[in-house]
């Protein structure tokens, strides 16, 4: 798809409410995961930089998705330095996600007008990231940081903050609802959506059904 502005990507994430988070060393498997989620109406996908040659896998996935699902916005996660951010941007990443905040990554993304979603776990870290232009921050690890109660408390004095919670412990309807009601703009879900047994078996219909279920819970919680 054509490159979106970072504000457009931000709005896409907020509208979706769900960001699949996934890594696999086989580009074909990742492309199928993207496809299953897209068929469920989830058009944002975070590929994590976790394996040897991961950027090459991502490059192939971008090529396949451009043909099959041109409306899907692909981003790169687990990014901790500007050099890796630049590599993924060159391969077509439309947003960058990190487990922590990096001034160098923020500077690069600001220069290139890319959405940067840094990992934060305290009000001070969130405030610093926002001073560097973060439109969305990733609450990570979200349960250890305080769960939905932390989000609700933080948004009281800081209602403009946009939070994506990643690594939720309870991905049941009640658990998802609690996060949405607390005020997160999105949830980043990995194994809670893309279960290993489904991936290993190539059971993409189950992935699609799970994505539809999660999306429905999010929409219901939003009212």
pLDDT value for 1: 60
Helix axes 204-222, 27-39, angle to 10 degrees: 40
Strands (E), the chain: 18-22, 44-48, 73-77, 95-97, 115-117, 119-120, 137-139, 163-166, 186-189
CB under 8 Å to 203, separation ≥6 — which residues?
A: 197
Q: Which residues of the chain have pLDDT under 70?
A: 1
Please, are residues 166 and 21 in contact by the beta-carbon 8 Å criterion? yes
Please, are residues 191 and 22 in contact by the beta-carbon 8 Å criterion? no
Give me the residue label for tokens 């041109």.
70
| Integer CA distances (angstroms), 197 to 55, 168, 201, in order | 25, 19, 6
Which CATH superfamily is 6-218 part of? Aldolase class I (3.20.20.70)
Q: Which two tokens stand for residue 135?
A: 């439109």
pTM of the model: 0.97
Please, are residues 193 and 214 in contact by the beta-carbon 8 Å criterion? yes
């Amino acid at each position: 798809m054509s490159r979106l502005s970072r504000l457009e990507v931000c709005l896409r994430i907020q509208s979706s409410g769900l960001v699949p988070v996934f890594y696999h060393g086989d580009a074909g498997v990742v492309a199928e995961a993207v496809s299953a989620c897209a068929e469920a109406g989830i058009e944002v996908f975070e590929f994590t930089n976790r394996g040897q040659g991961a950027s090459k896998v991502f490059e192939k996935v971008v090529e396949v998705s451009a043909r099959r699902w041109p409306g899907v916005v692909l981003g790169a996660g687990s990014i901790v330095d500007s050099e890796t951010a630049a590599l993924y941007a060159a391969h077509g990443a439309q947003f960058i996600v990190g487990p922590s905040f990096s001034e160098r990554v923020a500077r690069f993304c600001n220069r290139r007008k890319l959405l940067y979603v840094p990992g934060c776990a305290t009000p001070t870290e969130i405030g610093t990231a926002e001073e560097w232009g973060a439109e969305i921050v990733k609450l990570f690890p979200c349960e250890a940081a305080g769960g939905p109660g932390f989000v609700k408390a933080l948004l009281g004095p800081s209602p403009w903050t946009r939070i994506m919670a990643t690594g939720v412990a309870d991905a049941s309807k009640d658990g998802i609802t609690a996060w949405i009601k607390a005020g997160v703009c999105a949830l980043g879900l990995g194994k809670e959506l893309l279960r290993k047994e489904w991936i290993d078996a190539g059971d993409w219909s189950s992935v699609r059904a799970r994505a539809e279920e999660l999306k429905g819970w999010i929409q219901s919680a939003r009212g």
